[in-house]
Structure formats: structure tokens, C-alpha cells
Amino acid sequence: MTDEDGDDAEDHDHGHGHDHDHEGEDGDHDAEDHDHDHDAEDHDHEGEDHDHGSEDAGTADDESETGLQRDDFVRLAYTARTVESDQLVDTTDEAVAEEEGIDTEGQSFGPRVVVLGEGGLFDPVEDDVVGREVGDTATVTVPAAAAFGEHDADEVRTISVEKIPEDDRYPGANVQIDGDQGFVETVIGGRARVDFNHPLAGEDVEYDYEVLDVVEDRVERAKGLFSMYMDMEPEMWIETDEVEEEVVVTPDEGDDEEADADAGEEDADDEAVEEADADEEDPPEPRTETETVEKETLYVEATPQLTMNQQWMFSKQQVAQQIIQQLDLDRVIVQETIEGGMGGMMGGMGGMMGGMGGEPGEGEADVEEIVEELE
């Protein structure tokens, strides 16, 4: 083999090898393009699935947000009866109560404002209202466990009749023993059998209700909350008051910080360092200033019924805080209005003065002197 032939062979080998490499490279490119096509197709499917998922999620959110929602103030008309015995449990309709022989004197009837989710009604009822619209009517059954509880046999106890007032020693009497409320089942000899379960324990309760409207007015909302907590609606109104308050003003520490920085840059200046140390040791004392601020206030007219209500006496702070939070108020003021003036008392004093004798002019002078001394 000549060198020339060898060169030809080398050229031949290089030629074939080069062509093969290109073919392999082309094959790789084809495979890569094929993979890219699949990847793009998969990506498109994933994007489509993602779009469908987003659409489904959006639909679910839209469905869950339609209608009435928790924390909404709604006005409801309803009547509740036990499922088994059809006994009236509660109603907003005075006519229904009268038909059942309920004494309606001193009781207030009418549609009730309820804050959904706040426990104004049994949970299953409020849960059923969520998602409904104004004008809807519905019936919902509250199981005994979610209403007045299941009947507990252990709560039926035998006690000595000495613990029961003589006037209440008969079947059906409501009694309070050691702080527990119950009713007498039987009285035999010196023993009495008392059921301390709720009278409606073990009873399923059925509510028929209608959604009348959504309450937006804040005073109406306040009345609804008050009624929910206290079962009464005193006169109330909202005003914005200007109130002067003492506020603590913290001294501006900017000057002190600047002095400290200067002292750090001039460490050689002993006097500056001493002044900075003195400032650190004796910071300016806080001071108070009087500021005029606006406070949104709910005024509640205290009636004798409210003032003497024991539940109000023990829970007024909690009730007021709940109303403040629900309505975003600054404070609640409960005020008592006393009609009339001091004429009756002063008239009585004048009569007593006249009865003490003396000249008519002297009595008038004495009254004037007393008034001057009081002033």
C-alpha cells in the first residue's frame, strides 16, 4: 500500500466517520425534537388541567360565597315546636303564642335580629340560614343533642323533702336545689324524686322560619344584639362625641442619638463624652398632654326593668364589650333619666320652715341664707 493509498484510506475513513457522526447527530436531533413535542404536548395538557382546576376552584368559591354568610345580621320570623309532642318552644308571632295559651303580657314579640354564627339560635338553624337569600322560607329539625340535650337518667335524683319549700312539695313544681334547677316528679313520705334535666331534654325541635331582610342600620344591629343577650330592647342611639383625654408623650430621642453619634466620632473630646454619658444616665421624663379625640358612642337608656335585671348586673361588662366589637364602637354609655326637678323637696323644706313659726319675712330670709350657704 502506497502512502497515497493510505491517505486515500484515511480520507475514506474520515469521510465515513464524519458522515456517520452527522447521521447520529441528526438522529439525536430528531429524538430531541420528538421529546420536545411530547413535552410541549404534556405541558399544554397540564396547563389545560390547571385551567380546569382553577375554574373549578373559582366555581366552588363562588358557590360558597353566595347568599347569607356568617357574621351577617339577619331578621328572622320563626316558630319552633317539639317534633314528638308538637309543644310550642319559641315563636316570634304573638298570635301563635296566644293560640297556645301562653301569657303574652310583659313579653315582646316580633321578628328577631340574629347574628349568624354567634349562637343566637341553635347551631343547626343558623347553619341552615347560611347560603339562603332574603325571602326564603325553610324548615329545619334540630336533634335533641344540639337543642336541650339528651335526657340523662343520672340527673334524676332522690332527695330529702326538707330541701324543698313546703309550697313546692308537689309533682310538677319547679324547684332549685343546691343551685340546680329541676322539677318535682314524685313526693313520697320524706323523700322527693326531682328531675334536674331541662324540661325539653331528649326532644327534637323543628323550626319553621322565614328570612325577612338583612339588617344594615347600626342602631338596629345594636338592639338585636342587646335582645339576643338580655331579651329586651331599651331605647338606644349612636353619637360621635368629642372627648378630652390625657395622653403620655414620649420625649423625642433624636437629639440624644445625634449627640451620641457626635461623641463617638470625637472620642478625644472628653467633654462631649461626659455630656453624652450624662444624657444616657438622665433621660427626659415622659409628660402628659390633653388631646381632643372623637369617640363613637352607643347610648343606652337604662329603664327600671334593665337596672334591676340580675343578669344585666352580672354580665353588663361582657355584653357591652361584645356590642363594641361587633359594631366597631369606641364605648357604650348606659344612662338613667330622672324626670322632674327638685321642687317637691324644696316645697317640703319650705313647709317645715313655715311650721317653725316666726314672721313671714323671716322664713323667706332664712331660705335665702341657706341657699347662699349651699352655693
pLDDT of residue 260: 54
Tell me, what's the pLDDT at 211?
Answer: 97
**Lookup result for grid cell 323523700:** 191
Alpha carbons 169 and 171: distance in angstroms, whole number: 7
Q: Which spans in 164-294 are helix H?
A: 218-230, 254-265, 270-281
Q: What pLDDT, on the 0 to 100 scale, is given for residue 224?
A: 87
107 with 101: CB under 8 angstroms?
Answer: no
Contact of 139 with 208, CB cutoff 8 Å: yes
The whole-number pLDDT of residue 187 equals 94
- The C-alpha atoms of residue 370 and residue 352 are separated, in whole angstroms, by 14
Nearest CA-CA partner of 136 in 213, 220, 224 = 213
Mean pLDDT in each 10-residue stretch from start to end of the chain (375 residues)? Answer: 42 41 43 45 47 48 72 96 96 94 86 91 96 96 96 95 93 92 94 95 97 94 87 88 84 54 54 56 77 91 86 88 90 83 47 43 48 51
Q: Nearest-CA neighbor of 228 among 67, 83, 76, 98? A: 76
Residues in the chain: 375
| Structural element, H or E, at residue 286 | none
Q: Which fold has domain 153-195?
A: Thrombin, subunit H (2.40.10)
Grid cell locating 101: 295559651
Taking residue 333's Cβ as centre, other Cβ atoms within 10 Å add up to 14
Report the topology of domain 73-147+203-214.
Chitinase A; domain 3 (3.10.50)
Distance CA 245, CA 229 (A): 31
The pTM of the full predicted model, rounded to 2 decimals, is 0.61
Residue 312 has a pLDDT of 86
CATH of domain 217-240+297-346: 3.30.70.2210
- Nearest residue to 191 via CA among 220, 227, 228, 164: 164
Residue 210 CB neighbour total at 10 angstroms: 17
Residues 6 or more apart from 28 whose CB is under 8 A from it? none
State how far the Cα of 236 lies from the Cα of 45, in Å rounded to an integer: 62
Helix 310-327 / helix 218-230 crossing angle, nearest 10 deg: 150
Q: How many CB atoms lie within 10 A of CB 194?
A: 22
- What's the DSSP call for residue 284? P
**Residues 162, 155: Cα–Cα separation, whole Å:** 19
Consecutive H or E run containing 336: none
